[in-house]
Amino acid sequence: MSGPESSDAEPEAHAPAHRLASATLFCENCGTSTPHRILRIDGRGAGPGRPVRGIARCRTCHFTHPFESVGENRVDISLIVSSGASSERERLRLPRFRTIQVGTGVPDTDRALTVRRIDVRTGRSVPSARAGEVATVWARRDEGAVVPVSIVEGRRTRSDRLRLPHRTRIAVGDELLTSVGPIEVVGLRARGRTWRRPGDAFPADEVDRVYGRRTASPPAGRSDWRRGRESPSSRERLVSTASRSRSSPGARRTRREPRARTADGGAAVHRVVPR
């Protein structure tokens, strides 16, 4: 159970034996750093810049164990920050025993970053590790919740993406502003199912997809509101409209034989005489 222990406050190495000393050390029983009472300090090799060894008792679980407290020793880690299609590489300096975990923020930084991957010095990717074991941290700028959107436009569906602040609630019936204009939310995909009842709402972080209809006038149709006429959908439609315009009564056709007229109209009756 012995070995290097994490310490945020060094114990008083040169304190007299009767004096009470305390420090924050890593407790193997609790699995985290907790306040400890220093029971004994090994004076051999003690001095500035050297580790302090001894026996300590955890104030939380009362587990007594040997400890070795070293001064704050920082290590350099390669940090790759991605934002969209671009990435930036920089150096991050952290205490050796600081824990880094995927899905959480980057320690010792005020920027909104989320750890996406951790590569240790052996080349493997792990979900969490101490800074002394880490070679590269891959992080992404936290720009809020990114929600895919399907916008229904008649027979066609357009895809879009919305960036919303975390914990923003989206409800069926709400109006959202997208890159193509305002839409009305008609459905939400969350928790493995689709919700369509008015009032169904979820935080943006839990929404897998938003289904919406455009609310701008004129209403959306088959196309993106094109003014040009579409090509005929069949040959019959092409034949019936090829020779007439919108204002003409119909198509003109050439007759193969003369029309028979009556004598009441003052015109001669023309008959086709077979030869």
Examine residue 154 and state whether it is found in any structural domain, yes or no.
yes
Examine residue 62 and state whether it is found in any structural domain, yes or no.
yes
pLDDT of residue 142: 77
Range of the domain at 51: 1-71
Indicate the DSSP class of residue 237. H
pLDDT of residue 227: 46
Percent pLDDT > 70 in the chain is 67
Average pLDDT for 225-253 = 53
Among candidate residues 171, 196, 214, the one where a domain is terminated: 214
* Tally of CB atoms within 10 A around 245: 6
Token output for 50:
């050297």
Give the pLDDT confidence of 186-228 residue by residue, as tens digits: 999 999 999 999 989 999 989 999 999 987 655 545 455 554 4
Examine residue 273 and state whether it is found in any structural domain, yes or no.
no
Name the 3-class secondary structure at 166.
Answer: coil
Range from 14-23, 30-39, 135-144 carrying the lowest mean pLDDT: 14-23
104 plus 149 within the same structural domain: no
Average pLDDT for 246-268 = 56
Examine residue 203 and state whether it is found in any structural domain, yes or no.
yes
Give the pLDDT confidence of 130-142 residue by residue, as tens digits: 998 999 999 988 7
Q: Which residue has the higher pLDDT, 274 or 207?
A: 207
- For the chain, the domain total comes to 3
Residue 73 near residue 9, CB atoms below 8 Å? no
Q: Which residue has the higher pLDDT, 1 or 149?
A: 149
Residue 139 near residue 77, CB atoms below 8 Å? no
Place of tokens 């299609």: 85
**pLDDT above 50 (res 270):** yes
Give the pLDDT band (50/70/90) at residue 28. confident
